[in-house]
Amino acid sequence: EDMEKGTYAHYMLKEIDEQPAVMRRLIQRYSDDQNHLKVDAKIVEELIASERVYIVACGTSWHAGWVGKQLLEQLVEIPVEVHLASEFGYNMPILAKKPFFIFLSQSGETADSRQVLVKINHLGHPSLTLTNVPGSTLSREAKHTLLLHAGPEIAVASTKAYTAQIAVLAILAKVAGEGRGLEKAKVFDLIHQLGLVANGMDVLINEKEAMAKLVEESLSTTRNAFYIGRGVDYYVSMEASLKLKEISYIQAEGFAAGELKHGTIALVEEGTPVFGIITDLVMGSHTRGNLKEVESRGANTIVIAMEGFERSGDAIILPQVDTLLSPLVSVIPTQLIAYFASLQRGLDVDKPRNLAKSVTVE
């Protein structure tokens, strides 16, 4: 049934809409009968026995990995490195003595990620794959698997797998942090917080008309665009711009807000759309400063801000959720922006040119 488009014009829109249900499903799938989040004890043991976690992935999954780094470092207090699979295997950094590897792969079939796993297995290091496809290659070949339970993702541009990866990483971080006896993990009521995330997603996916209008006003003729933010808002900016590139063919960059002025701001012209993502007070006020800088150079700035940190004139207000989980809601409008930009340009939303759903060559 998940494979059917039903009344939807495109799989991508259906998959965007499914995200609140995926969040609620994950709460169920990863809860025990006492309503506590649980993850296979072996995985948790090996993770917390490690000195350093290495997250390896490609594309959208790599972007989810950056958010995962934040979650694991905050809740488990173990250092985390995030690597592009295509770079890591052939240019391996000096590893910690006790590393733990997490492979993120929606399909579980990406060749770039698999070549790393083969090397890691050869070295005898423990590994975990987070994937949407049970029985996939990366699932079979890693020591452990956690499933994303997102249902089949058909559109080439990944949406619900990204948010599912972040949610599963949050669950893993919460349970592992508890396993280490860390107070911050114990008091983090993730079941409740993921419920709030699902509700927040519902609010945003009901704002499609406003999103379509925003796209018509800001992206209809442009050839390039920027997303900027700091911290996790930067990580979401990278994903937001990838989504826009993939299906609307608008050249987009996700940039660390503070770094723009050190070179790339030269690309800003009269009317260049610059989206700013703001989900934190202090970092947000700096990002607003950066938005002023580009505005004074003619940019058309569009602010996506979380409730509590918004100012008048902001284009999109995100329902408030725990700051650790903000990417789960801030990414939703950016998925819809990409969708409508593609649609309004008359492009093939679900099957963009030159792209494949999973890439099985290195």
What is the Rg, in whole angstroms, of the alpha carbon atoms belonging to the chain? 20
212: contact with ligand G6P by CB under 6 A: no
Distances from the Cα of 155 to the Cαs of 4, 12, 242, 350, in angstroms?
Answer: 12, 5, 14, 5
Return the range that interacts with ligand G6P (CB under 6 A); candidates 27-35, 57-65, 209-217, 301-309. Answer: 57-65
89: contact with ligand G6P by CB under 6 A: no
Of the pair 164, 294, the CB lying nearest ligand G6P is at 164
Contact 316, 304 (CB under 8 A): yes
Say how far apart CA 222 and CA 215 lie, in whole Å: 11
Token code pair at residue 133: 């496809």
Of the pair 290, 335, the CB lying nearest ligand G6P is at 335
Contact 191, 27 (CB under 8 A): yes
- Kindly state the DSSP code that residue 227 receives in the 8-state scheme: E
130: contact with ligand G6P by CB under 6 A: no
Please, which contacts does 258-265 make with residues 24 or more away whose CB atoms are closer than 8 Å?
258/230, 258/286, 258/290, 260/226, 260/228, 260/290, 260/293, 260/294, 261/290, 261/293, 265/293, 265/294, 265/297
Active site residue 184: no
Q: How far is the CB of 251 from ligand G6P (least distance, A)?
A: 17
Distances from the Cα of 236 to the Cαs of 162, 223, 227, 294, in angstroms?
Answer: 10, 21, 9, 20
Instruction: Out of 19, 50, 70, 113, name the contact with ligand G6P by CB under 6 A.
Output: 113
Of the pair 280, 350, the CB lying nearest ligand G6P is at 350
- Look at the block and give the residue holding tokens 């169920």: 28
105: contact with ligand G6P by CB under 6 A: yes
Phi, psi of 82, deg, nearest 5:
-115, 130
Q: How far is the CB of 113 from ligand G6P (least distance, A)?
A: 6
Q: How far is the CB of 148 from ligand G6P (least distance, A)?
A: 10
Return the range that interacts with ligand G6P (CB under 6 A); candidates 2-10, 107-115, 280-288, 310-318. Answer: 107-115
Q: How far is the CB of 156 from ligand G6P (least distance, A)?
A: 5
Helix or strand run (H / E) with residue 67:
helix 59-76
Return the range that interacts with ligand G6P (CB under 6 A); candidates 13-21, 105-113, 171-179, 231-239. Answer: 105-113
301: contact with ligand G6P by CB under 6 A: no
Q: How far is the CB of 3 from ligand G6P (least distance, A)?
A: 17
Catalytic residue among 38, 208, 351, 357, which? 357
CB atoms within 10 A of CB 119: 14
139: contact with ligand G6P by CB under 6 A: no
Instruction: Out of 19, 22, 27, 60, name the contact with ligand G6P by CB under 6 A.
Output: 60
| Subset of residues 151 to 170 that bind ligand G6P, contact rule: CB under 6 A | 156, 158
355: contact with ligand G6P by CB under 6 A: yes
- Look at the block and give the residue holding tokens 């043991």: 45
Helix or strand run (H / E) with residue 24:
helix 19-29
Q: How far is the CB of 349 from ligand G6P (least distance, A)?
A: 13
Instruction: Out of 19, 86, 106, 139, name the contact with ligand G6P by CB under 6 A.
Output: 106
- Look at the block and give the residue holding tokens 């993990």: 185
Catalytic residues: 357
Contact set with ligand G6P (CB under 6 A):
58-61, 105-107, 110, 113, 156, 158, 355-359
